Structure 1
Amino acid sequence: MTVPPPATPARPAASIHHLRRGRGKPLLLIHGLGSSWQTWAPILPGLEAQREVIAIDLPGFGHTPPLPGDVTIATLADAVTDFLTREDLLGIDAVGTSMGARLVLELVRRGGVLGAVVSLDPGGFWQGWERSFFYNTVAASITLIRALQPAMPALTASPVTRSVLFAQFSSHPWALSPELTLTEMRSFAASPSTDELLRNLAYGEAQQGMPRGQLAHPLVIGWGRWDRVCVPAQAARAQALFPDARLHWFDHSGHFPHWDMPTQTLQLILNTTADSGNLEVKDRTKV
């Protein structure tokens, strides 16, 4: 008698740490590489005034333990889908930033997971030299951040050194709050999945799109004109892969519009997700 091979054990569902507060229609927030739910601090009060916010720490970041096995956009998308299923939140509106912005686009592409989506400066649309530029500059930043951890409270307290540390990520880093920047620096240094995910983002699976006419809910891709991580030329490639998306430019923002232009970002999110069941809603992305 032939003995069948042992079954491959299912990947255990991730236990995802999250903040849940506010009132209104639920809204999921997904942070970027090396970060945590606290990256949304500049716009959280405005969102919570009108929505029930669910801000998560992705596996391997913040207070959520890493995934077993590979850490990729695909495995993170699986983990987020499991979380939303367990919490009875499938179809929730969502916002992602940077790597999280790429992640929400992957969830949109899969269908049936999210409602209306705002994707802020997503990664994954680089070509040629941009790929190595992204990997090498971000990897160098992470190495520096880890080396400077003992001095980080003093460095983030000074507008001058904040400008040096965050020049790649913000159009006006001197104006960022010391509390926000210290939290980000601590998270980047401590997150166990940052290095593997950075490699996979740069050199792993290619971002896929979806054909015109298949989008079930509004999708806005936002981009900072001064983005030095995902250069603005990549916005046209993102829209080409998601032709039903609307492209919104943040004229005075770097890689993180919710830091550099929080009022405009807040309004864009609220407007885009105001009627997530109707793709024919008025285009309100110019705020």
Structure 2
Amino acid sequence: MSATVTFSVDTAQGPRDVSVVHRRAGSGDPVLLLHGIGHHHQAWDPVFSILAAERDVIAVDLPGFGASPALPDGFAYDLAGFVPVLGALCAALDIERPHVVGNSLGGLLALEMGREKLVRTVTALSPAGFWTQAERRYAFGTLLAMHRGASLLPRPAIERMSRSAAGRTALTSTIYARPWRRSPEAVVAETLALRESTGFHETLAAGRTVQLRDAFAMDTDAVPVTVAWGTRDRLLLRRQGVRAKHTLPGARLVRLPGCGHVPMNDDPALVARVILDATA
């Protein structure tokens, strides 16, 4: 079951309330799970129960995505805007320096939280930011096309397509290497989540200036980092993982054979093992 937590964040205009929808289960060391742009916390469902058997797991809908309301006026959907909100969220949930695991946009946010030493460890699955400008334009163009397609399709058409493996492939093959493994209900829900993401365009616009591979100083001794990349990632190509390793030489780079951009669905056992090892 999901719950909502509301907390205050200081801004130049004074305190503002932010609400975040999340799912929490398990016990042990806290692990915060952050999804990618246009997605929702259910992206972690394939590994959630596995992780919750050994950890206190919190999967969140980032503000402006999933069921979480948009950020209040005056907040930017960039690193400087998101990271203080995530720090305040941890305080509201009474988790001090959790392990953080992020995918895509969530991986970028996880790395920034690590740089700010807000977390114990970082596990980044295909994190954004290690692209060339050409690769960024390709990824952003693909995301815009996905959003436009989800916006134009009537819900009955989405539901009809999701009932077949071919339809699920057409809707989600950009982010999954094995899209037919997603249930029809999950495909409908995530397609609607993409379409209804109030923070989508502002987050994408903020991402145009992100270029972590140029300069990203981080103390990986103080905050251990694991970067994992699917060999069949069609959105952020796997060679970006090599750049991440060059940028963060102290990080551990893990290959995820046969996995796409959102690898939790393609190989839940492998991804869960990577996360449990990284947060041990």
Residues 157, 85 of structure 1: alpha-carbon distance in 2 compared, 3 angstrom cutoff:
same
SS of aligned partner of 2:259: coil
Asked if 1:114 corresponds to 2:137, the answer is no
Which is higher, the Rg of structure 1 or of structure 2? 1
What does residue 103 of structure 1 align with?
109
Contiguous gaps of at least 5 residues in structure 2:
1-10
Partner Cα separation in structure 2 for residue 114 and residue 259 of structure 1: 25
* Residues 61-210 of structure 1: pairs in structure 2 closer than 5 A: 61-67=65-71, 68-69=73-74, 70-111=76-117, 113-150=118-155, 151-201=157-207, 203-207=208-212, 208-210=215-217
Asked if 1:269 corresponds to 2:252, the answer is no
User: Residue 25 of structure 1: which of 13, 29, 41 is its match?
Assistant: 29
4+ residue stretches of structure 1 with deviation over 6 A? none
Partner Cα separation in structure 2 for residue 52 and residue 228 of structure 1: 31
User: Residue 235 of structure 2: which of 220, 229, 234 is its match?
Assistant: 229
Q: CA deviation at 1:11?
A: 5.2
SS of aligned partner of 1:41: helix
**Residue by residue, what CA displacement relative to the aligned partner does 1:17-39 show, whole Å, maximum 9, x if unpaired?**
21121222211111111111111
Q: Kindly, what percent of the aligned residue pairs are identical?
A: 32
Q: CA deviation at 1:66?
A: 1.2
What does residue 56 of structure 1 align with?
60
Partner Cα separation in structure 2 for residue 100 and residue 128 of structure 1: 20
Tell me the amino acid that sits aligned with residue 45 of structure 2. Answer: A
SS of aligned partner of 1:197: helix
How many residues are treated as equivalent by the alignment? 265
Q: CA deviation at 1:14?
A: 2.1
SS of aligned partner of 1:15: strand
User: Residue 16 of structure 1: which of 16, 20, 36 is its match?
Assistant: 20
Contiguous gaps of at least 5 residues in structure 1:
1-6, 275-287
Q: Is the 8 A contact 1:149 1:189 kept in 2?
A: no
Q: Is the 8 A contact 2:181 2:265 kept in 1?
A: no
Partner Cα separation in structure 2 for residue 78 and residue 205 of structure 1: 18
Partner Cα separation in structure 2 for residue 215 and residue 155 of structure 1: 47
Q: Is the 8 A contact 2:30 2:56 kept in 1?
A: yes
Q: Which moved more, 1:170-179 or 1:157-166?
A: 170-179
- The TM-score, its normalising length taken from structure 1, stands at 0.87
Q: Is the 8 A contact 1:227 1:253 kept in 2?
A: yes
SS of aligned partner of 1:248: strand
Partner Cα separation in structure 1 for residue 69 and residue 32 of structure 2: 19
**Residue by residue, what CA displacement relative to the aligned partner does 1:43-64 show, whole Å, maximum 9, x if unpaired?**
1111111111111111111222
Tell me the amino acid that sits aligned with residue 27 of structure 2. Answer: R
* Residues 251-270 of structure 1: pairs in structure 2 closer than 5 A: 251-270=257-276
Q: CA deviation at 1:258?
A: 0.6
Q: Is the 8 A contact 1:73 1:103 kept in 2?
A: yes
User: Residue 253 of structure 2: which of 247, 253, 258 is its match?
Assistant: 247
SS of aligned partner of 1:192: coil
Partner Cα separation in structure 2 for residue 8 and residue 122 of structure 1: 30
Q: CA RMSD in A?
A: 1.7
User: Residue 44 of structure 1: which of 44, 48, 53 is its match?
Assistant: 48
